[in-house]
Amino acid sequence: MTSTRYLDPQLDFVHEPLPVRVVFGAGRFSGISEEVSRLGLRRLLVVCTPGKQVLGESAARLLGDRAAGICAAAQMHVQTDTAEAAVTQARSLSVDGCVAIGGGSAIGLAKAIAVQTELPFVCVPTTYSGSEMTSIWALTENGEKRTSRSPLALARTVIYDPSLTTNLPSTFAVASGMNALAHAVEALYAPESSPIIALLAEESARSLAVALPALRDTTVSNARALAFRGSWLAGMCLGATTMSLHHKICHVLGGRFGLPHAVTHAVVLPHVASFNLPASRDAEAALRRALSSNHPGTALHVLASAAGITDTLQSLGLSKQDIATAADDVVAQPYHNPRPVDRDAVLAILSAAWHGGPPERQSDH
Ligand code: NAD
């Protein structure tokens, strides 16, 4: 019998892999000096968040006399003045490259330096944000976050060492994993999706669905490596596609209302997936397989809540009045989405995520 799945694949696409060297495995961080010397780099600025300065110092120690200094000023949503100060530090130290160690915030600051100075950089991610695999960079000024893509914002080498994620608090680890899942979900219905991206996204979702429930159990030694594998694949998907409604909503909630990045993704994703998937049969089928559920939106909610995410947009600090303002911002400019979006649809999604609970099961018929 011929499977109908193979009669309707996406056979009109462009696929352009991004040239990033990936080094993956427990203990790989100790080889950072060899990785930077492979790139011919001799004077490096280590970039991290203030809370991860100790990690920045370990990177500097491993780099030895290749470490020129540490910039521990990274913060969520890179502010223009923080980026300017970091660029000044990089120039005054005459560095020839940077090492970003930490989550999306540290990587985001290294990208801002790279775009303005054309310096190459190496990433050592310690969360599942996926930023290390993309050429997307952003600056925030007066509450407005502007995002662009640039080849200069692409890391030369990424070192995934799961042992660096053992201190990541499990609730944040799950939220960060949901952020990665959001990349996989939206890549499945992105206009630039391709057979390769569809495979990566489905496999990413499968890895994360297995890893996330195990992240709180420290006896499951492989869970963090599996989550990293999933976030790496999701990061490749994010780097190759443009995101839709879910990312637009989270972008507005983070940029304008200051909501924390990863957990906001965890709270919003089940509701947007439930809204969008009935309009994208291939994406829905892939997620049914990956999540072993006939209702992927509900499965995403169960996954997050069973793994310890009980937040709502209300508990994250969004006021009820802000819902209408956020909905206005989300529909202010057009963008790709598999299902037509209007203000009422966004209001319904935001209200559901504000109150919490499982998403409404929807159909486009
Ligand atoms: P983050 O980098 O802000 O990290 C959150 C907190 O966890 C920080 O205080 C950090 O110091 C700490 N932390 C990081 N790793 C740790 C570890 N292993 N153990 C203990 N604590 C650790 O959060 P994030 O969610 O990784 O990144 C969010 C930022 O990344 C946002 O600004 C978002 O816009 C950006 N982002 C960008 C892209 C892109 O492609 N450009 C993709 C995803 C996210």
Secondary structure (H, E, C), 248-300: HHHHHHHHCCCCCHHHHHHHHHHHHHHHHHHHCHHHHHHHHHHHCCCCHHHHH
Q: Give, for ligand 1, the residue of 126, 178, 249 to mutate: max count of ligand atoms closer than 8 Å to Cβ.
A: 126
> Which residues touch 12 (CB under 8 Å, ≥6 apart)?
none
Q: Give, for ligand 1, the residue of 18, 46, 47, 52 to mutate: max count of ligand atoms closer than 8 Å to Cβ.
A: 52
Question: From the alpha carbon of 147, which atom of ligand 1 is closest?
Answer: 41
Q: What is the distance between the alpha carbons of residues 107 and 231, in angstroms, rounded to a whole number?
A: 15
For 325-362, letters b (16+ CB in 10 Å) and e give ebbebbbeeeeebbbebeeebbbebbebbbeeebbeeb
Residue nearest atom 40 in ligand 1 by C-alpha distance: 131
Q: How far is CA 276 from the centre of its chain?
A: 19
Question: Is residue 52 within 6 Å of ligand 1 at its C-beta?
Answer: yes
Question: Is residue 127 within 6 Å of ligand 1 at its C-beta?
Answer: yes
For the CA atoms of 79, 80, 82, 86, the dihedral, rounded to the nearest 10 degrees, stands at 140
Whether 252 contacts 323, CB under 8 Å: no
Question: Is residue 337 within 6 Å of ligand 1 at its C-beta?
Answer: no
Question: CA gyration radius for the chain?
Answer: 20
Q: What is the distance between the alpha carbons of residues 330 and 309, in angstroms, rounded to a whole number?
A: 24
Instruction: Read off the tokens for 223.
Output: 């869970």
> Could you tell me which of 136, 282, 275 has the C-alpha nearest to residue 197?
282
Q: Give, for ligand 1, the residue of 129, 183, 233, 257 to mutate: max count of ligand atoms closer than 8 Å to Cβ.
A: 129
pTM > 0.95: no
Q: What is the distance between the alpha carbons of residues 349 and 353, in angstroms, rounded to a whole number?
A: 6
Question: Is residue 103 within 6 Å of ligand 1 at its C-beta?
Answer: yes
Whether 75 contacts 51, CB under 8 Å: no
Ligand 1 centroid from CA 104, angstroms? 4
Cβ atoms < 10 Å from Cβ of 4: 7
Ligand 1 centroid from CA 39, angstroms? 25
The pLDDT value given to residue 12 = 83
Residue nearest atom 19 in ligand 1 by C-alpha distance: 168
Q: What is the distance between the alpha carbons of residues 172 and 309, in angstroms, rounded to a whole number?
A: 9
Element (H, E) at 143: none
DSSP 315: T
Question: Is residue 241 within 6 Å of ligand 1 at its C-beta?
Answer: no
Query: Residue-wise pLDDT tens for the chain (365 aa)?
Result: 444 555 555 678 888 889 999 999 999 999 999 999 999 999 999 999 999 999 999 999 999 999 999 999 999 889 999 999 999 999 999 999 999 999 999 999 999 999 999 999 999 999 999 999 999 999 988 877 889 999 999 999 999 999 999 989 989 999 999 999 999 999 999 999 899 999 999 999 999 999 999 988 766 679 999 999 999 999 999 999 999 999 999 999 998 899 999 999 999 999 999 999 999 999 999 999 999 999 999 999 999 998 889 899 999 999 999 999 999 999 998 899 999 999 999 999 999 999 999 998 766 44
Question: Is residue 134 within 6 Å of ligand 1 at its C-beta?
Answer: yes
> Which residues touch 2 (CB under 8 Å, ≥6 apart)?
none
The pLDDT value given to residue 361 = 73
Instruction: Work out the angle at residue 253's Cα, subtended by the Cα atoms of residues 247 and 258, and round it to the nearest 5 degrees.
Output: 130
Question: Is residue 251 within 6 Å of ligand 1 at its C-beta?
Answer: no
Question: Is residue 135 within 6 Å of ligand 1 at its C-beta?
Answer: no
